[in-house]
């Protein structure tokens, strides 16, 4: 038990900061459970002579305004709120025998609870040597009679011993003194404390960076090739546009881009080398990529070979997997956000709309009020509900592949996110063979599945998608994927 607790705390705190609480805990507990299970002897005689490496386990994690419990066995977590003590976990025990414990089985299904915190809540973690001998009334009495939580926990364990407990006695009390409140004023100060630089000219200098040339300029951002003594080769300096000086949502996305770019280390993902943390100005320094956008490549290569597009798709998938491992979703995949060099090497750029699981626990994050992404490439579920996961990125990737090969999009174009239709009549997939008859039928079926309107009808992994892009899948032709009825496709004719 001691090993499980100490290992869990150390490993949980070492998980990726971008992961959600649930993902971090599931990774740590799976590893811990496997190790404990492997220590238990398989020989029946040895099992009698040696101790079993298993333990009950209850963890309470408080983050932002939410509480999380991860539970196995007969330890308990209870909540004292407004004078009432409520057991939040359920005992995994039948006739005094444990039905679940860490290390008992190769694969364990952990009970997970998530709930809202309230100021002055007290959470009680106890083992059966305590709660089997102390009543709920006595728990409350010990807590109310002791202002110090440690003294109250000690009083509870002493009460258990006095009332006949002959087992281990463990009790931990945690009180919520205060919960964070959403404060847009503080968020505004955080996002606007650095100045947005004016448009820079060749030869001008921002901090230690001298402008060699302007690479790109738009109403949203400015990108320059710069040099500095800090780097041997020229690097890229990116600044927000002054037009967005008061736009908190945009500024949050710009800062998020720097945070993401510094944490993903992958050859197919643009690296942000540094951010302007110690500067009065707001900007990023990124690696320089000598190439062109996939949009320009598409214009230069109007009818590419399947092998060329497969190579591009594979590299984008490798980049998306790097995001997926960190519990992130790009949400704005399009040809303009993909760079390709003369050797065919692909790099994913622009992380301003990346969804980071861990940040959804922070109530001071400015919430998206409209779909993130670009019309034509954004998945239907994101347009309709704002939800996005790796299958949303998969949808966007398949649309890019479709467009590279045909110059068209698989669905009708939308003029505005506010006019997003939910009916299947609009979301009718147009076969890529209507534009390029040389594309194999099975390849068209692969794109049709990857761009299915309902996420559950798409591929369950990137690897399945890549495999079907390269090898005919006979099962696809037997599967109906979001196919509208004859009436939906031709209502006037039916009438």
Q: Which of 322, 309, 187, 311 is nearest to 260 (CA)?
A: 322
Q: Which of 478, 473, 482, 477 is nearest to 395 (CA)?
A: 482
Does 213 lie in the same domain as 93? no
Evaluate whether 327 touches 282 at the Cβ level (below 8 Å).
no
In a domain, 463, yes or no: yes
Task: Classify 109 as helix, strand or coil.
Answer: coil
How crowded is residue 184: how many other Cβ atoms within 10 Å of its Cβ?
10
pLDDT in the model for residue 358: 86
Q: Is the dihedral of CA 96, 102, 106, 107 positive or negative?
A: positive
Question: Of 262, 286, 310, which one is at a domain's C-terminal end?
Answer: 286
Does 224 lie in the same domain as 138? no
DSSP secondary structure string, 153-173? Answer: HHHHHHHHHHTT--S---EEE
Does 161 lie in the same domain as 139? yes
Does 137 lie in the same domain as 102? yes
Question: Of 138, 156, 175, which one is at a domain's C-terminal end?
Answer: 175
In a domain, 246, yes or no: yes
Does 463 lie in the same domain as 366? yes
Q: Which of 187, 268, 281 is nearest to 238 (CA)?
A: 281
In a domain, 148, yes or no: yes
Helix axes 441-450, 462-470, angle to 10 degrees: 160
What the block records as the tokens of 178 is: 């205060």
What the block records as the tokens of 213 is: 């040339």
CATH number for the domain spanning 445: value is 1.10.510.10
In a domain, 180, yes or no: no
pLDDT in the model for residue 409: 96
How crowded is residue 216: how many other Cβ atoms within 10 Å of its Cβ?
11
Does 475 lie in the same domain as 423? yes
Does 202 lie in the same domain as 139? no
Does 454 lie in the same domain as 327? yes
Evaluate whether 413 touches 376 at the Cβ level (below 8 Å).
yes
Does 377 lie in the same domain as 280? no
In a domain, 261, yes or no: yes
Range of the domain at 282: 185-286
Does 368 lie in the same domain as 477? yes
Q: Whole-angstrom Cα distance, residue 411 to residue 421? A: 12
The verdict on pTM exceeding 0.85 is: no
CATH number for the domain spanning 77: value is 3.60.40.10
Does 190 lie in the same domain as 164? no
Question: Of 233, 263, 286, which one is at a domain's C-terminal end?
Answer: 286
Our count of domains for the chain comes to 3
Does 127 lie in the same domain as 23? yes
In a domain, 50, yes or no: yes
In a domain, 196, yes or no: yes
CATH number for the domain spanning 231: value is 3.30.200.20
In a domain, 81, yes or no: yes
Q: What is the mean pLDDT of each run of 10 residues along the chain (495 residues)?
A: 92 93 94 89 56 87 93 96 95 88 90 94 96 96 94 96 94 93 62 88 96 93 95 95 88 90 95 85 94 96 96 98 95 96 96 88 63 85 91 98 97 66 69 95 96 95 97 77 58 78
pLDDT in the model for residue 49: 47
């Amino acid at each position: 038990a001691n090993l499980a607790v100490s290992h869990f705390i150390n490993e949980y705190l070492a998980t990726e900061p971008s992961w959600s609480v649930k993902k971090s805990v599931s990774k740590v507990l799976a590893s811990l459970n496997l190790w404990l299970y492997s220590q238990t002897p398989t020989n029946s005689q040895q099992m009698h002579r040696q101790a079993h490496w298993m333990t009950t386990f209850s963890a309470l994690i408080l983050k932002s305004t939410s509480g999380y419990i991860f539970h196995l066995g007969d330890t308990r977590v209870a909540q004292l709120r407004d004078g009432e003590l409520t057991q939040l976990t359920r005992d995994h025990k039948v006739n005094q025998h444990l039905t679940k414990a860490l290390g008992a089985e190769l694969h364990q299904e952990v009970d997970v609870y998530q709930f809202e915190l309230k100021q002055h809540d007290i959470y009680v973690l106890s083992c059966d040597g305590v709660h089997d001998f102390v009543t709920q009334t006595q728990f409350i009495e010990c807590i109310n009679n002791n202002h110090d939580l440690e003294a109250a926990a000690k009083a509870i364990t002493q009460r258990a011993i006095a009332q006949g407990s002959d087992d281990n006695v463990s009790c931990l009390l945690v009180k919520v003194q205060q919960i964070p409140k959403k404060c847009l004023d503080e968020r505004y100060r955080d996002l606007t404390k650095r100045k947005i630089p004016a448009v820079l000219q060749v030869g001008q200098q921002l901090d230690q960076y001298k402008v060699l040339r302007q690479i790109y300029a738009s109403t949203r951002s400015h990108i320059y090739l710069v040099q500095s003594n800090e780097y041997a080769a020229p690097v890229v300096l990116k600044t927000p546009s002054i037009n967005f000086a008061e736009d908190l949502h945009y500024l949050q996305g710009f800062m998020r881009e720097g945070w993401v770019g510094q944490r993903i280390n992958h050859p197919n993902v643009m690296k942000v080398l540094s951010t302007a943390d110690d500067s009065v100005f707001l900007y990023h320094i990124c690696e320089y990529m000598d190439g062109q956008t996939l949009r320009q490549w598409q214009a230069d290569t109007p009818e590419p070979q399947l092998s060329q597009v497969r190579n591009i798709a594979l590299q984008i998938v490798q980049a998306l997997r790097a995001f997926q491992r960190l519990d992130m979703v790009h949400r704005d995949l399009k040809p303009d956000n993909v760079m390709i060099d003369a050797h065919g090497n692909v790099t994913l750029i622009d992380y301003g709309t990346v969804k980071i699981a861990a940040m959804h626990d922070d109530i001071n994050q400015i919430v998206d009020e409209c779909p993130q992404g670009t019309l034509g490439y954004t998945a239907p579920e994101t347009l309709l509900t704002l939800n996005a996961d790796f299958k949303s990125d998969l949808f966007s990737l398949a649309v890019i592949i479709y467009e590279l090969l045909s110059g068209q999009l698989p669905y009708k174009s939308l003029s505005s996110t506010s006019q997003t239709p939910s009916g299947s009549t609009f979301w009718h997939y147009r076969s890529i063979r209507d534009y390029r008859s040389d594309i194999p039928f099975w390849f068209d079926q692969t794109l049709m599945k990857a761009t299915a309107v309902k996420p559950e009808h798409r591929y369950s992994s990137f690897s399945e998608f890549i495999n079907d892009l390269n090898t005919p899948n006979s099962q696809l032709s037997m599967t109906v994927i979001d196919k509208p009825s004859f009436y939906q496709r031709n209502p006037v004719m039916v009438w």
